[in-house]
Structure 1
Amino acid sequence: MAEERTSNYIKLCDEWAEKFLQMEKKELMNRLPELKEEDGYLKITHFGVPFGIRLDNGRIDRLDGRAKANATEMLNIYTLLGYVKENAFFMDKWVPFADLRNARPFGPAYKIGVTDVFAATFSGHAKELENAFEKLNGLRLPLGDVGYQIDAFSCEPMQFYFWDCDDEFEAQANILFDYSATDFNHVESAVSTAEMGVRRLAELAGLPLKGKAFGMS
């Protein structure tokens, strides 16, 4: 089953690579000024990691030399390019996932696969989480035991909040999106973007993910 799922994700990435080749690149760069054309790529940063979409074949490379781009990263980038609306703009209106447009059907899976994983992974590890946010040049926020704003993409900042466990309560976590998130990307991609953020934080903290994460390799 896992092999079949991975194969489907690879096929989907191949389909998106073909779609990218048909996209008007100047229009994309107008809609997403963070895109930079250099060295045969359109370059973009996703949770602090540089990526490039190849102009010759539409495939995505991770450009820091540390690993290959995984399916979650690639699909987050492809869907951003494919779904960003003309004149999309940051609204500075922060909402939980369930309050994004058309998000409610995905709410239960989002809780189990993202915020529950976020809380479980960093339970008892608030300092490691704080250090991970600092490595991403996060903006500290005055809420929660650990609260930071970081960029999924330059056009899509996100706010992460964490309350550590104590003698009475388990660890709790929440992630807020700007209401414009679904103007830049598909609502299902908000799930995988948040999931990628938790994975990146865990990676930087040197901690294994806990809970029912549903990431794509």
Structure 2
Amino acid sequence: MREEKISNYVKLCMEWADKFMKMDQEELRRRVPELKDENGFLAITHFGRKFGISKKDGSIHSLDGQSEPDTTEQLNIYTLLGYAKEGAFFMEKWVPFAELRNARPFAPAYKIGETDVFSATFSGHAKELRHALLSLGGRELPQGDVGYEIKAFECMPMRFYFWDADEEFEAQGNILFDYSATDFNHIESAVSIADVGIKRLAELAGVPVRGKSFQMR
């Protein structure tokens, strides 16, 4: 019988699970206070979905009865646990991805894989996007045809702005982070966090993701 090949992302998740088991739990809870003890898991919410990190083996599982987390969702959680700085705080300074610390090298790929995908996915679907954002507890903002603030994690709010296509212009979207985002997670994780956000919104809106989306396997 041929042995099934394990993807590099699955291996990375397994490595992070081992790292989690070696973390000082008290220190971890100080850095990521949104973690909650729940039936042998540390529970955390990621774009409205409840997941749990097993205190037994460090693996991550769904706690909301929906599908198990994919590797992108898992790594977003693991890197939050690994990179969040003690004493990090929300700055109320909203910036696009390219203006986050150390983001410049990733900005061109981010535009193609995230903001362009966001714009294309919801072109002609502003109503569905609004519904999806509201279903995630979004707070409406005055800018854009659709503008809402939602939480990737409790410590990492994001702002999604969308202008639908008209006779002259194609649909345009933008995603803003608080400047503190890189105090809570790795800069490359900001890319995958935006990616999960777009896919989650598309799922809730009932529309397919369009464009060259970032994807882990």
User: Could you tell me the TM-score, scaled by structure 2's length?
Assistant: 0.97
Report the count of equivalent residues: 214
SS at match of 2:7: helix
Unaligned runs of 5+ residues in structure 1 are: none
Deviation at 1:28? 1.0
The aligned counterpart of 1:181 is 181
The aligned counterpart of 1:161 is 161
Deviations 1:106-129 (A, max 9, x none): 001100110000000000000000
The aligned counterpart of 2:107 is 107
Mean alpha-carbon deviation: is it higher for 177-186 or for 61-70? 61-70
Deviation at 1:216? 2.1
Partner Cα separation in structure 1 for residue 26 and residue 197 of structure 2: 28
Matched, 1:144 2:139: no
Please tell me whether the aligned partners of residues 196 and 215 of structure 1 are also in contact (alpha carbons under 8 angstroms): no
SS at match of 1:131: helix
Deviations 1:123-174 (A, max 9, x none): 0000000000010010000000000000000000000000000011000000
Amino acid at match of 2:215: G
Partner Cα separation in structure 1 for residue 91 and residue 62 of structure 2: 30
Partner Cα separation in structure 2 for residue 100 and residue 214 of structure 1: 19
Partner Cα separation in structure 2 for residue 10 and residue 31 of structure 1: 25
Deviation at 1:203? 0.4
Deviation at 1:44? 0.2
Partner Cα separation in structure 1 for residue 202 and residue 83 of structure 2: 28
The aligned counterpart of 1:204 is 204
Amino acid at match of 1:151: K
Deviation at 1:215? 2.0
Partner Cα separation in structure 2 for residue 131 and residue 182 of structure 1: 29
Over the aligned positions, Cα root-mean-square deviation in angstroms equals: 1.2
Match runs of 1:4-19 below 5 Å: 7-19=7-19
The aligned counterpart of 1:46 is 46
Which consecutive segments of 4 or more residues in structure 1 shift more than 2 A? none
Partner Cα separation in structure 1 for residue 12 and residue 190 of structure 2: 17
Amino acid at match of 1:117: V
